[in-house]
Structure formats: C-alpha cells, structure tokens
Amino acid sequence: MSQARTEPLPETARRPGDAAPVVELRGLSIAFGGVPALHDVALRLYPGEVHALMGENGAGKSTLIKALTGVYAPDAGTVVVDGQERSFASPADSQAAGISTVYQEVNLCANLTVAENMLLGREPRFLGGIGVRAMRRRARQTLERLGLDVDPASVLGQHPIAVQQLVAIARAVDVDARVLILDEPTSSLDADEVARLFEVVRTLRDQGTAIVFVSHFLDQVFEIADRLTVLRNGRLVGERLVSETSQLELVRLMLGRELETLDRLDRQEAPPVDRDRTPVVKVLGLGRKGALEATDLEVHEGEVVGLAGLLGSGRTELARLLFGADAADTGEVEVHGRRARVRTPRQAIDRRLAFASEDRRAEGVIGDLTVADNMLLALQASRGWLRPIPPAQRTTLVARYLEALDVRPADPHALMRNLSGGNQQKVLLARWLLTEPELLLLDEPTRGIDVGAKAQIQQLVAELAGRGMAVVFISAELEEVLRLSDRVVVMRERRKIAEREGGDLTVGEVLETIAAEATHTHLTETTDGEAPR
C-alpha cells in the first residue's frame, strides 16, 4: 500500500496477533457521472471485531458498503475476501460469500410477512416448497433473540418503522455470516432495543464474526466498536483503535475542523413564551383506539414542546392525530382558540400546520425529482398547483435552505435519490420549514444526521421558535429533546403521563418519571395489557 494518504495508518491500529483480515478493500474508487464518491479508500476487517465506519453525511459510507457487497461496481480497487480477490456482481453474490448486510434505508418488502422478509431466499423447505411453519418458528426464535415480540405471520407493512428496522437486522443476523454489515441500524431504535442489538452483536463478535457498524450516535460507537475507519469527502482519513481515540478527536477527524456549536445552544435570547395568550393549537381529549388514549396538549407561539417517551409510547401517534394523518376517534382541536376540523393532512395544512414525518421513505422522498422540486413540494401544494412559485423566489428559497441545512451536494438540480441518507433527510426537513407554518410537528428530524449538521438543525429550530413558530419536537434522543424544549410532555403506553417545564429537567428525571409510572400502572392495570404493536 504505497499510495499517499491524508494520514498513514498508525501501527497501533493493526490488531497484534491477528492472522489476516476476512475482508480487505484496497484502493477503492467509484464515481457517479464523473463525480467521485470514493477515492482510493481502504478498509480492513478482522474476524471478531466491531469496526465502526465513520464520516459526515455524504462522506461515502453507504457507497463503500454498496461497492463491497456488489450493489455498485467499483471503478478501481480490489476486494479481497479470505485472501482471495473477489468481485461481486450482485448482493446475492456477496451474501453467498458470507457477507450479510443491512442497508441504510430499511430494505424489505412491506407486502410480505415478517417471516418471509427475514428468511426469503434461504427459507426452510417442505416437500420441495417453502416450509411455512418451520419458517415462522425460525423467524420467531431470531426475533426473540432481538427481544422483539411480533407475529412472524403478520404483514410487515403494518408495523412501525422501528420494528421494520429490527426485522431487517434479524434477517441479517439469522445466517451465520462471517461478515455482518450494519448501516445505521439504530437510527430509529430506542435505548432498550439498542442494548439488545448490542448484546447480539457482542455474541456474534465473540463467535468470530467481523462486524461493520455505521452510526451517527457517537456514544453508541464508543460503546460497541473496537476499531474505526474515518472517511471524509470520499477519502480515507485514517484508521484508529477506539480505545485510543477521544470523542473530540473523532469529531475532528470526521469534520476536518473543530465543532464549536455542539452542546452550546443559546435559547436565552429568545423572548419568554407567553402562556396567557391563546395557544396556537390546543387539543382536548384527542385519541384513537389502539393508538392513543385521550390526550390534552397546548402549544403556544414561540414555544418548543418536546414529546419524550420510549418507542410505542404514543409520541408519533399524537403527532399524526394532530396533523390528521390518522383520523382521531375522540377529541377536539382548537387553532387560535377556534374549533377546527383537522381530519386530513389537507385540512391541517390549510390551518398552517406542518408535519415532518419519521418515515421518510414512504412519505417523503421522491427519488426521481430534483432536490429543488422535493424541497418546494409542500409549499407548492399549499399554494395550489395553479399558482406556481415565481422562478426567482424558487431559486432564492432553495439556495437559502441548502445553505442553512448544509445539504451536500448543494446542487438544486441533483436527483433526490442520488443524495446520501442524511442529506435526503435535510431536504425533507427543509420542505416543511419552507412553508413557514404556525405549528411545526417534527418527528425524529435529526435521525441519520451527522454531529455537525445535527447541531445546525437544532440551532435552526431554536431560531424559528424564537421568531414565533410553535414547534412540537419528537426524538428518541432525550438529550436532544431536553436541550431544545421549553416544555416536555412525557408519554408512556399510549398516553401522556406528565408535563414538565424544560430548562433544568434532566434525562434522569424523565427516565424516573417513566419508570415510576411503570410500577404504578402495573398495579392498577389489569385488563388493558395490550402489547405495543
């Protein structure tokens, strides 16, 4: 390996005593339409290690994984598996060679059952056909290892996105793969599920599997990974032992600069929220059978209300009901003190509500349109299709948000599907910010977004609130919710259990509230023991 690198691999990053890597990539380059996405990148995976692949949004992590597993054909470079040079023509080929992959976007078929999604392609046989019972049994066993209690015979599409993500992981860990690649597997998981996933990952690692782990949650990386490789702008920055790297150093390697804004979110300048005025939106007893018990909520001008709670606590459901994405069974909605009918998203948009949903694949990204078109979709829809946005205004609006959210490439004419996952997420966020709503519902807006951009987005939300927008902020990351919110609504088992002033509230206190409620409900609740869907 004689090519010039930004930083040479330190000797310490090699695992002493280990024979040979299972997978080694050398000099890998790939370009899309002349634009290089990866340039002369190397990666070494040893058996029995968890290897974190790090980098900003658009750094080339997913591209590297796809080039390795046969989705893309690299322009240059070699893939060596077990000392033999290989080139995979399709994902099926790499799977056959013992490389099991969970790609970044949940890549399963919503119309098939959970069991089929996990096992199709290597299903148990029965009389020459598929052994349906055996298949379900095996699926259930693997799901149990991940602590997931879902019916393997149920259709995948009816489950929330987190369950789908776990099913995708279950598909990958079900085989005894020698290499397991997880591209942002934890983006929509809660702490509990992450813990369980890590247990499985550790077991596999101890059995000798090489695991690639991609995540923008630095805490998780430091918890699970042994070594890491950092990419920046499609180039290799370096390979490090996790034990010898600090978080700060890692961030510097990823961004190529110091990160100033993280943790320092100034909301002091914002005018205090006036709770005596009529709230922008007030709901009374909003509920839907099986989704949410009757809930009250008020959101004032310039206020950020955070919804905290575990997965399946009803936080997403509340936002969906408020926006009319699901029809409520009970409850009333008042907008500026006037009764309003919000039964469909259309009606919600007319009342100047906006909802950035967590499920960007199903509800957001239109891959074949340009970034600009994707961004302007909601604004155009709210104006009506007969009143096109003037070209000059289009250009300035798009340019402003491309910059504000640091979308890369900052090219309004790029096709949406060619953007990296995190950058797609930024465009979707811009889509709703652009409409300048009076109430903005953000469901997991920073999922899959790198540390730098995450701080930028939080800053932007704070700014918008400072200018009078009411915001409902949902995130699985409690720290983030607490940092941003003026008020925190704690949810559990599909209802609101507490409402606290933000500011001095700590993560521990919120978790305590949730746990205390748990013991309480356990004693009183006898009939309603429905498992979360």
Partner 1 sequence: MSAATDTPVGSSVVPSTWDRVRSWSPGQRYLPVIATVVVFLSLFSAGGIRYEGFADPQVFLSLFLDNAFLIVLAVGMTFVILTGGIDLSVGSVVALSTVIAARTLEAGWAAPAAIAAVLLVGTVIGLLHGVLIQYLGIQPFIATLAGMFLARGLCFLLAERSIPIDDETFSTIAFATITLPGGYYTTWTAVVALATVVVAAYVLARRRFGRTVYAVGGSEASALLMGLRVARTKVAVYAVSGFCAALGGLLFSLYMLSGNSLHAVGMELDAIAAVVIGGTLLTGGRGLVVGSLVGVLVLGTIQTFISFDGTLSSWWTKITIGVLLLAFVMVQRLATRRQP
Ligand X SMILES: Nc1ncnc2c1ncn2[C@@H]1O[C@H](COP(=O)(O)OP(=O)(O)OP(=O)(O)O)[C@@H](O)[C@H]1O
Interacting residue ranges for ligand X, rule: CB under 6 A: 32, 37, 55, 57-63, 104, 408-409, 418-423
403 binds partner 1 per the rule CB under 8 A: no
Please give the Cα distance from 35 to 39 (Å, whole number). 10
| Sequence letter at residue 151 | D
Binding site partner of 57, from ligand X, Mg ion, partner 1, none, Cβ cut-off 5-8 A by kind: ligand X
Phi-psi region of 493 (alpha: psi -120 to 50; beta: other; left: phi over 0): left
Among Mg ion, partner 1, ligand X, none, what binds residue 109 when CB lies within 5 to 8 Å by partner kind?
A: partner 1
Neighbours of 47 (CB within 10 A): 18
Residue for token pair 């009764």 = 339
Closest CB to partner 1 among residues 110, 511: 110
Cα 33 to Cα 44: distance, rounded to the nearest angstrom: 28
* CA–CA–CA angle 214, 219, 224 (5° rounding): 60
Residue 293 or 358: the one with the smaller Cβ distance to Mg ion is 358
76 phi/psi in degrees, rounded to 5? -150, 160
Residue closest to ligand X when measured from CB atoms: 422
Report if residue 291 touches partner 1, rule: CB under 8 A: no
Least distance to partner 1 from the beta carbon of 110, Å? 6
What does the CA dihedral 220, 224, 227, 231 come to, rounded to 10 degrees? -30
Query: Looking at the DSSP assignment, which residues form a beta bridge with residue 85?
Result: 80
Distance of CA 334 to the CA centre of its chain: 32
Residue 529 interacts with partner 1 (CB under 8 A): yes or no: yes
Out of 101, 104, 187, 446, the only residue in the binding site for Mg ion (CB under 5 A) is: 104
Whichever of 168 and 471 has its CB closer to partner 1, that residue is: 168
Q: Which of 157, 409, 466, 468 binds partner 1 (CB under 8 A)?
A: 157
Question: In the chain, what is the greatest distance between 2 CA atoms, to the nearest angstrom?
Answer: 72
Work out whether 101 is an interface residue with Mg ion (CB under 5 A). no
Answer for which of 9, 42, 130, 284 binds partner 1 (CB under 8 A) is 130
Q: Smallest distance, Å, CB 118 to partner 1?
A: 10
N- to C-terminal Cα separation, the chain? 51
CB-nearer residue toward ligand X: 254 or 310? 254
DSSP state of 202: H
For position 517 contacting partner 1 by CB under 8 A, the verdict is no
d(CA 104, CA 94): 17
Is 90 a binder of partner 1 (CB under 8 A)?
yes
The reply to whether 186 sits near Mg ion by the rule CB under 5 A is: no
Q: Does 415 bind partner 1 (CB under 8 A)?
A: no
| Closest CB 65 distance from partner 1, rounded Å | 11
Can you give the length of the chain in residues? 533
CB of 420 to Mg ion, least distance (A): 5
Q: Is 515 in the site for partner 1 (CB under 8 A)?
A: no
Decide if residue 425 touches Mg ion (CB under 5 A).
Answer: no
**Size of interface with partner 1, in residues (CB under 8 A):** 35
Return the structure tokens found at 51.
């290897």
409 in Cβ contact with 402 (< 8 Å): no
- Does residue 421 bind Mg ion (CB under 5 A)? yes
CA 60 to CA 53: how far, in whole Å?
Answer: 10
Closer residue to ligand X, CB minimum distance, 406 or 480? 406
Nearest approach, Cβ of residue 223 and ligand X (Å): 19
Among 190, 226, 334, 359, binds partner 1 (CB under 8 A): 359
Sheet with 23-32, edge to edge strand ranges: 84-86, 76-81, 23-32, 35-45, 235-241, 227-232, 50-54, 210-214, 179-183, 99-102
- Name the one range near Mg ion by CB under 5 A: 29-37, 221-229, 310-318, 418-426: 418-426
Stretch that binds partner 1, among 14-22, 34-42, 101-109, 242-250 (CB under 8 A): 101-109
Told to check if 103 binds partner 1 by CB under 8 A, we report yes
d(CA 85, CA 80): 4
Cβ neighbours of residue 141 closer than 8 Å, sequence gap 6 or more = none
- The rounded distance, in Å, linking the Cα atoms of 78 and 270 is 54
For residue 224, which of 180, 164, 162 has the smallest C-alpha distance? 180
Bridge partners of 488, per DSSP, are 306, 500
Q: Which is nearer to ligand X, 54 or 465 (CB)?
A: 54
Between residues 52 and 419, which has the closer beta carbon with respect to ligand X? Answer: 419
SS3 10: coil
Report if residue 101 touches partner 1, rule: CB under 8 A: yes
Candidates 41-49, 58-66, 242-250, 507-515; binding stretch for Mg ion (CB under 5 A): 58-66
CB 197, min distance to ligand X, A: 19
- Taking the complex as a whole, the smallest distance from the CB of residue 183 to Mg ion amounts, in Å, to 6
Amino acid of residue 470: A
Nearest Cα neighbor of 379 from 430, 427, 433, 435 is 435
Query: Which residue reads 């059978």 in tokens?
Result: 289
Cβ proximity to ligand X, 32 vs 126, nearer residue:
32
Nearer to partner 1, 195 or 362 (CB): 362
Binding site for Mg ion (CB under 5 A): 62, 104, 420-421
Chain residues that interact with partner 1, rule: CB under 8 A: 71, 90-92, 94-96, 101, 103, 107-112, 116-117, 120-121, 123, 129-130, 132, 149, 155, 157-158, 171, 326, 359, 362, 526, 529-531
